Amino acid sequence: MKDIFANLYNKVVSFFHQTDEKTSNTKDAACNRLKLVLMQDRTNLTPAIMDRMRRELIELLSKYMELDRELLDLNFEHEDDQMALMLSIPVIRAKNEDEINEILAKEDEERKKIEELSKSDDEEETDEETEDTEEETSESETEESEDTEDDNTDESESEEEDNSEDETESDEEDLEEEDDDDDDDEVDEEIDNDPTKTKKEKKKEKFFKKKKESEESSEQ
Amino acid sequence: MNYKEKLVIDLSDAVNISDLGIKITSVLESDGAVNKELHLNLGSIDLKQSQLLSIKALIEAMQSTIAKIETTSEITESSAVGLGLSVGKPSAQEQKPAFDDSYKPNVEKSFEEKLSSSDEISSFAQLKQMNSIGDFVSDTKSLTEVPSENLEEETQEFLKEAEAEDSQEDTPEMSKEEKVANIYDSLNKEITNEDIEDALDITFGTNTTEETESKDDVFAPITMQEKLNDYEVTETVETAEEGKYVLLDTEGITPEGVELIKANTSDLDTLYLTQTLRSGQTVSYEGNIFLIGDAHPGSEINATGDITVWGILGGIVHAGSKGNTDAKVRALKLNPIQLRIANLYSRRNDTVNVPYVQKTNEFTPEEARIENEQIVIYKTLRRED
Amino acid sequence: MAGRVIVITSGKGGVGKTTTSANIGTALAKLGNKVVLIDTDIGLRNLDLLLGLENRIVYTIVDVVEERCKLKQALVKDKKNPNLALLAAAQTRDKSSVTAEQLKDICEELKKKNDFILVDCPAGIEQGFQNAVAGASEAIVVTTPEMSAVRDADRIIGLLEAKEEIESYKLLLNRVRPKLIEQNDMMSVEDVTEILSTDLIGVIPEDTGIITSTNKGEPIVNDETALAGKAYRNVAHRIMGEDIPLLDLNQKESIIDKIKNFFTKGKV
């Protein structure tokens, strides 16, 4: 008798569960994973490189508009013989001209600073040409940098405080620098690598701040 | 048309319907007794239509069908007619069957003669001396089982597989065998010794007509040889559907330039193998091949002489591949997808769908050879101790 | 008469290439076409089993290539349909026994006297695949709504696109389970076609009848009642250029059905 009731109870519960489960299905997981895998297969890009490309794209675009980074969707599709890169990111807010100019100005400043820095270190500026070749080998680099990141998280957090928020806006520049720094001293490499990790966090912080601000302003 | 093996069950010694039921069940429960067409000899027992119907249902439940009923009882006959079954009276020959002691020396002699005189002493005969074969003995001409001395106490199970055409002629013989089979099965049901003796008296009556018949026919009741296939090379649709093996249309597919010869295979070298031959593996040899182990479906064995498989033969075999029509294929269980001897290629009948044979301890060696431009399979049934 | 040579391929094993070949071949033959099925899975042949012709094979494609017999002799006629013939693979050899050129020649020869030549491709993308594709001008890519199968199909499509001989290719989605799709636990037909961005030639539902039909050695298209058989027959019509809508596999359960099912299940 007890069994029968237990059985019935389970059935009733599972009946109601059935409808709930629809929200968490395995199909979407499969689709998403598959899309990612196929993208890699079709382009011969490793996950690390894909991730970096994604990041760089966001940094570049976020100079001009506020984006919902979490919902970025990057995909390659091929129709007939053509392959197309499909990128979709929800735009939270378009930035106005002043903001954009401000950011670009800061970026220029940053660039100048860096140029000066590198000059003072008597390092040769790397050409854009070499950049391209280095990108091919960047897979191993990024792996290296990831390793070093873990070791240096503590340091980077402290350094993070020193860096201004503006720096995040010029991420792209920094990332390029990363490549360039290949020939640099280890110290330089560390400094340049550290922000990559912290930038992410910073970006988030900044993003939420701005979101709050915009919300507040809209409330007002 | 489905290929069904025929089985004759003699129930003439049954006293009531429950006895009938037990006997039928015990026969049908034995290994390999599914999907048979049954000839029932019901003797003089009176059965009402309802009783006969229940027997029919019992048989159908065991996946066999009643092909014919033989009875001396008019009541049973009318019941059977009512159920639409074909009915007949048992022949006189049957009522005094020909299982007589007198044939024994005859057969034994003929066997001994063959052993000593024939050049064609096969490995089967030699194996007998090795004592590993024990239960069954055979020579190359006809797989002959020699009755042992204490035949009366022993019983044998004969399963006769015959084609439809032959069945009519064979019926008397088969029923005799089946009487024996029946008794064997009743033995399993713990029947007393007296019962057996009674039954044996009925079964092993005297009939001398057999011995005067041709050699093959004399052997028929005791050799347990089976002609599973007896078809013309020019395959016709109707007959092709009935045998276990069907000759392929060999027109144009036999290797050209192969001269047909009839050569003694015992003069050839023999390749001795101890392994399982798996799908995709091939063995070819100029001479005889003796394989101890199974040959799985998808494997191939080619020999210019005989092929003997001490195991289940499931792949493709080609004996006498250089055209020796005297070559033979033997196995504990012959179940090849294709069986080729010399220039004759035969394939397993489509309606016999047994690609994999279940392994049991009870195998009955079989031999395939060419007779009258046909591939014929002989089967030795094992004596039950 | 110039027949069409269609290769049936998938990349991944076990998605139903051979079943598809046997069924489409039988269905096309039933529609009155002269069809030859070529099994190129040398060393692991199975097409003969699905057609129930395993006991009739005397000569194989390797015998043809090595000129031990004529091509005509190696063609095994189907039991039921005289329009259908099988050119079997050798079981006792390997993929290197036949070259792409030789297979191409065989296809060219068969094209002259047949309407359709279906080439059953082995799994993988190695020599066996390259051989099978060599003689074909069309391809059917078989896949199932599983990640691994779709991924492999994508790879195969990429390889097919690179082949100049392949003029067109279509996708056949096999082993679709409408129930699972409804529960959102299986990629839907739309998901797969979207991901692979390829045209469909058919959708075959998962059917236990496939297993029993394999046991019997008779393709399921001969079973008039089976849904999978109907789906394969539709594919055959589509290959012949007819416009037939996809089978509705999603016979959706209404709320009432669900409640009914719940109560009937509850009874036990």
**B215 plus B364 within the same structural domain:** no
Q: How far apart are CA A53 and CA A60, in angstroms?
A: 10
Q: Is the pLDDT of residue C125 over 50?
A: yes
What is the pLDDT averaged over residues B121-127?
Answer: 36
Given this model, what pLDDT does residue A40 score? 77
Q: How far apart are alpha carbons B377 and B334 in whole angstroms?
A: 9
3-state secondary structure string across C11-75: CCCCCCHHHHHHHHHHHHHHCCCCEEEEECCCCCCCHHHHHCCCCCCCCCHHHHHCCCCCHHHHE
Query: Which of these, B322, B353, B348, lies nearest to B334 by C-alpha position?
Result: B348
A162 touches chain C (CB under 8 A): no
Determine the Cα–Cα distance for residues B51 and B61; give it in Å rounded to an integer: 15
The answer to whether C189 faces chain A, any CB pair under 8 Å, is no
Q: Do C197 and A77 touch (CB under 8 A)?
A: yes
Beta bridge partners of C41: none
In a domain, B361, yes or no: yes
Q: Is residue B229 domain-resident?
A: no
pLDDT of residue A191: 40
Chains that touch B (3 or more CB pairs under 8 A): C
- Residue A115 tokens read as 């140029």
Which residue would you say has higher pLDDT here, C107 or B165?
Answer: C107
Domain-embedded: residue B199: yes
Residues near A70 by beta carbon (within 8 Å), at least 6 away in sequence = none
Q: Which chain C residues are closer than 8 Å to A78 by Cβ?
A: 197
- Percent of chain C whose predicted confidence (pLDDT) is above 70: 93
Residue C263 at interface with chain A, using a CB cutoff of 8 Å: no
Q: What is the mean pLDDT of chain B?
A: 63
Cα separation, B13 vs A52, whole angstroms? 92
User: Chain C partners of A27 at a C-beta cutoff of 8 Å?
Assistant: 181, 184-188, 191
A79 within some domain: no
Q: Out of A25, A31, A38, whose CB is closest to C154?
A: A38
The proportion of chain B whose per-residue pLDDT surpasses 70, expressed as a percent, equals: 49
Query: Which of chain B's residues have a Cβ under 8 Å away from the Cβ of C54?
Result: 297, 337, 355
C79 chain-B contacts, CB cut-off 8 A:
350
Domain's final residue, options B200, B223, B246: B223
Residues B41, B18 share a domain: yes
Give the best residue of B338, B343, B356 to mutate against chain C (max C CB count within 10 A): B338
B209 min Cα distance to partner chain C (Å): 42
Q: Does B306 reside within a domain? A: yes
pLDDT digits (tens, 9 = 90+) for C193-230: 988 888 999 999 999 999 999 888 899 999 988 899 99
Which residue on chain C is closest to B344 by alpha carbon?
A: C58
Q: Is the pLDDT of residue B202 over 60?
A: no
Are C40 and C174 contacting, i.e. CB atoms less than 8 angstroms apart? no
Do the chains B and A touch each other, judged by at least 3 C-beta pairs below 8 angstroms?
no
Residue B204 and residue B131 in one domain: no
Q: Could you tell me if residue B232 is inside a domain?
A: no
* Parent domain of B131: 105-148
Per the CB < 8 Å rule, is C262 touching A8?
no
| Inter-chain CB proximity C262 and A22 less than 8 Å | no
Examine residue A163 and state whether it is found in any structural domain, yes or no.
Answer: yes
The values of phi and psi at residue B341, to 5°, are -130, 125
Reported ipTM: 0.75
Is the pLDDT at C49 greater than 80? The verdict is yes
DSSP symbol at B352: -
- Domain count across chain B: 3
Q: Classify residue A69: in a domain, yes or no.
A: no
Interface touch C154/A31, C-beta < 8 Å: no
pLDDT, mean of residues A94-115 = 86
Residue with tokens 């302003």: A217
Q: How confident is the model at residue A96 (pLDDT cuts 50, 70, 90)?
A: confident
Stretch among A208-212, B264-268, C160-164 having the lowest mean pLDDT: A208-212
- Check which CATH number belongs to the domain holding B336 and give it: 2.160.20.70
Checking DSSP bridges between strand B307-313 and strand B329-334, what pairing results, if any?
Answer: parallel
CA–CA separation, C13 and B137 (whole Å): 49
Structurally, chain A folds into a number of domains equal to 1
A115 belongs to a structural domain: yes
A29 touches chain C (CB under 8 A): no
- Interface residue C171 vs chain A (CB under 8 A): no
| Within a domain: A199 | yes
Q: Render B310-341 in DSSP notation, one character per residue.
A: EEEE-SEEEESTTSBTT--EEEEEE--SEEEE
Nearest residue to B379 via CA among B186, B209, B161, B130: B161
Residue with tokens 């070749």: A133
Interface check for A38 against chain C (CB to CB < 8 A): the answer is yes
Residues B116 and B11 grouped into a single domain? no
pTM of the model: 0.55
Hey, are the CB atoms on A27 and C150 less than 8 Å from each other?
no
Report yes or no: C110 and C36 within 8 Å, Cβ to Cβ. Answer: yes
Tokens representing residue A167 in the block: 């720096």
Q: How would DSSP label each residue in B223-275?
A: H---------SS--HHHHTTSSEEE---TTTSPTTPPPB---GGGS-EEEEES
DSSP designation for B324: B
Confidence of residue C6 (pLDDT cuts 50, 70, 90): very high
> Which of A169-173, B55-59, C136-140 is predicted with the least confidence, judged by mean pLDDT?
A169-173
Tokens for B292? 């101890």
Greater pLDDT, B41 or B150: B41
Question: Which of A11, A28, A37 minimises the CB distance to C151?
Answer: A37
* Structural domain harbouring A139: 95-215
Q: Is A90 within a domain?
A: no
Radius of gyration in angstroms for the set of CA atoms belonging to chain C, rounded to a whole number: 19
For the segment B322-341, the average pLDDT, to the nearest whole number, is 89
For the beta carbon of residue A170, count every other beta carbon within 10 angstroms. 23
Question: Residue B203 has what pLDDT?
Answer: 39
Sign (positive/negative) of CA torsion B364, B370, B372, B375? positive
Q: Are B300 and B347 within one domain? A: yes
Please tell me whether residues B194 and B62 are part of one structural domain: yes
Report the residue from A8, A33, A41 with minimal CB separation from C155. Answer: A41
Closest CA to B85 of B105, B71, B96: B71
Helix (H) or strand (E) holding A41: helix A26-43
With beta carbons less than 8 A apart as the criterion, state whether B67 and B86 touch. yes
| Helix H or strand E segment including B216 | helix B215-223
Q: What is the bridge-based pairing of β-strands B366-371 and B374-379? A: antiparallel
pLDDT over 90 (residue B26): no
pLDDT the model gives residue B287: 93
3-state secondary structure of B21: helix
Helices within chain C (DSSP H only): 17-30, 47-51, 61-65, 71-74, 100-111, 127-134, 147-162, 178-182, 189-196, 209-216, 227-239, 255-267
Residues B142 and B156 in one domain: no
* Residue B142 in tokens: 């006809």
Contact C73 B253 (CB under 8 A): yes
Spatial CA neighbour of C19 closest among C239, C207, C240, C241: C207
pLDDT surpasses 50 at A99:
yes
Structure token pair of residue C103: 């297979």
In contact, C178 and C251? CB cutoff 8 Å: yes
Distances (CA, A) of C40 to A34, B103, B325, C29, C126: 30, 59, 34, 20, 12
User: Does residue A45 belong to any structural domain of this protein?
Assistant: no
DSSP B152: T
B156 plus B60 within the same structural domain:
yes
SS3 for A136?
helix
Nearest to C183 among A25, A33, A37 (CB): A25
Taking contacts as CB-CB distances below 8 angstroms, the residues of chain C near B345 are 58
Chain A residues near residue C199 by CB distance under 8 angstroms:
none
Among B192, B223, B254, where does a domain finish? B223
Residue B231 falls inside a structural domain: no
Q: Which residues of C touch A37 (CB under 8 A)?
A: 147, 151
Average pLDDT over residues A119-132: 54
* B194/B324 same-domain check: no
* Distances in whole angstroms, Cα of residue B12 to Cα of each of B79, B87, B182, B191: 17, 15, 10, 16
* A78 in a structural domain: no
Residues B270 and B362 in one domain: yes
Neighboring chain B residues of C216 at a CB cutoff of 8 Å: 353
CATH numbers and ranges of domains, chain C: 4-267 (3.40.50.300)
Residue showing tokens 């009522």: B95
The Cα B129–Cα B125 span in angstroms is 7
Classified as helix, coil or strand, A203 is: helix
